[in-house]
Amino acid sequence: MVRIVLLSGRFHIRVPDRAGRSAKVLRTIPENGCKVYSCSNDSVYDHKAWHEANANISQVEFPMLADPAAYLAKDLDIYEEADGRIDRGDFILDPEGKVVAYEVTSSNVGRNAEEILRRLQASQFVYEHGDRVCPANWHPGDETIKKDISVVGKL
């Protein structure tokens, strides 16, 4: 079972828009046998207030973890010490807890929930089929590539 961990910095003007757009897609991740967690350095009280006050944030159905000391962001090397800012990051972990895919963007660059889901599905596929490779833009049901030296230079 692959899990996904989403990290974001403090709630600001773009978060409600992103959360509303992402919630619809990310809602399907548990159907794929995965757990979703959102984590920020906001307090649990900030999360609760945003969830109750904002229609987009209220669509978020997965746990919102509070990490005011930014321990997780520091461990993942996405914490900007100078201003206490956390870069946006999406981390996909395999069942053993190994990070198998991640994307980190500056705090002012939005993310694509459909691409997160696609990377998650590809990560699950290669975890279950270690001898296969998912090519660029792969989606479930698409052809994969056998991980074999004989295909080098033939694609």
Domain ranges in the chain?
3-108
Q: What is the DSSP letter of 150?
A: G
Which residue is associated with the tokens 């001898």?
A: 131
pLDDT range class, residue 64, cuts 50, 70, 90 = confident
pLDDT range class, residue 47, cuts 50, 70, 90 = confident
Q: How far is it, in rounded angstroms, from Cα 121 to Cα 155? A: 23
Q: How far is it, in rounded angstroms, from Cα 67 to Cα 111? A: 21
Rounded to two decimals, the pTM is: 0.81
The correct CATH number of 3-108 out of 3.40.30.10, 1.10.3660.10, 3.30.565.10, 3.40.50.300 is: 3.40.30.10
List residues bridging with 91 in a β-sheet.
5, 102
Helical axes 15-26 vs 113-128, angle rounded to 10°: 40
